[in-house]
Amino acid sequence: MKPDAPAASPAPGEPERHVLRRALVALCVTELTSWGILYYSFPVALAAVTRDTGWSAATAMGAFSAGLVVNALATAPVGRLLDRHGPRRVMTAGSVLGTGALLAVAAAPGLPWFVAAWLLAGLAQATLLYPPAFAALTRWYGADRIRPLTVLSLVGGLASTLYAPLTAALLAHLDWRAVYVVLAVLLGAITLPLHLSFLTPSWDGPSSRSRTRHRQAVREVASSRAFLLLAAATALAGLGIYAATTNLVPLLTGRGTDTATAAAALGLCGAGQVLGRLGFPTLTRKTSPRARTIAILSACAACVAALAAVPGPLPLVIAVAVLAGAVRGSYTLLQATAVSDRWGTHSFATLNALATAPAALAIALAPATGAFLADLLGGYPAAFTLLAVVALAGAALATGTRPSDR
């Protein structure tokens, strides 16, 4: 394979395309539901949880964040399970696990149980959110993977739009424990039958005789300089762009913007992700994998630096926030394609999980990191400046992510 050449896999034929389309539609629905319930519902429910339990917001959010850390740590083992058993078994099991975890959240009699329930939910996230779905579509669609990956990320990007208001509406009529019972039932009722019934395209795991070769191939790629630099580069840039966007509201309110306007700016930042994802297929046609990695990670650094440096006027700041959202949307698809673009789709689930695990951990810690740096450095503008430098370091590392000739 030539360095930086997109992996060439045979395109699926008919009637297999019908099966693949059904699988794609099913994954769009389950990703929308899984992200909405397992990720976006909790920030909405946070005030109700703290009001009822007496826990501080930091304590309750810490339990949720611990689940995100488990999600990041479980990414690689889940990737190995995907390569061996396929998405149908793994994601169906995740539906059961996620439903049970949310019921445990609802039933938590105290803080230790609450933390344990979110740790379990984090394990469910590793089996239900983007990485396993991206791995499935990459394997099934081969050379045609960019379009279904883009469609999936666009639909998944609507999760907060749908489920944040739904959670708020439920909280207007029920206490937070009852809300999580409802959400658990929704998660199980929607994702379990779809995963079980429609994730049926063929998936041949490695035979017992080929597992040794599979492990050797994974070790060879995962220990290569280009792979290690790719993992480090995306982790650093991910920390920068996610820490900045999740701390956008305190940055703006610290500069005198009212909370409602700052929240609206954050919402527009989220909407900007759609623009980035829509533009990604064009970017893939016009650039090599290394070039677009450098471009997207450099754009992460530039947007964070602009947010740090531009105090106003407000329309300009909002425009930068939307651009930051677009870059973050492109970053999501970069994570989904960077490994397959360089090393093909063989053992993709395992390799992609190993490559994205550091970024997943960085993203899980990003909100707290941004707030910590603001306290340490005396304000959010200084924190954003440092985060821009971190993201720029990631872009610099990306220059070494071209695989060696084989």
Q: In the predicted model, is pLDDT for residue 308 greater than 50? A: yes
What is the predicted pLDDT for the residue at 16?
A: 77
> Rounded CA gap, 343 and 347, in Å?
9
Stretch 358-384: mean pLDDT:
90
* Whether 336 contacts 149, CB under 8 Å: yes
Superfamily of domain 211-400: MFS general substrate transporter like domains (1.20.1250.20)
* Whether 85 contacts 350, CB under 8 Å: no
pLDDT digit string, tens, across residues 14-72: 557 889 999 999 999 999 999 999 998 988 888 899 999 999 888 888 899 899 999 99
Asked if the domains 16-198 and 211-400 are classified in one and the same CATH topology, the answer is yes
| pTM score over 0.85 | no
Lowest mean pLDDT among 64-73, 98-107, 247-256, 296-305: 247-256
For every residue of 303-323, DSSP letters joined together read HHHHHHH----HHHHHHHHHH
Q: In the predicted model, is pLDDT for residue 205 greater than 80? A: no
Buried b or exposed e, range 123-152, using 16+ CB within 10 angstroms: bbbbbbbbbbbbbbbbbbbbebbbebbbbb
* Average pLDDT score over the chain: 90
Cis omega (within 30 of 0) for bond into 165? no
What is the predicted pLDDT for the residue at 1?
A: 40
Per-domain boundaries in the chain? 16-198, 211-400
Q: In the predicted model, is pLDDT for residue 137 greater than 60? A: yes
CATH class of 16-198: mainly alpha
Residue (of 80, 23, 15) closest to 353 by Cα position:
80
Q: In the predicted model, is pLDDT for residue 204 greater than 60? A: yes
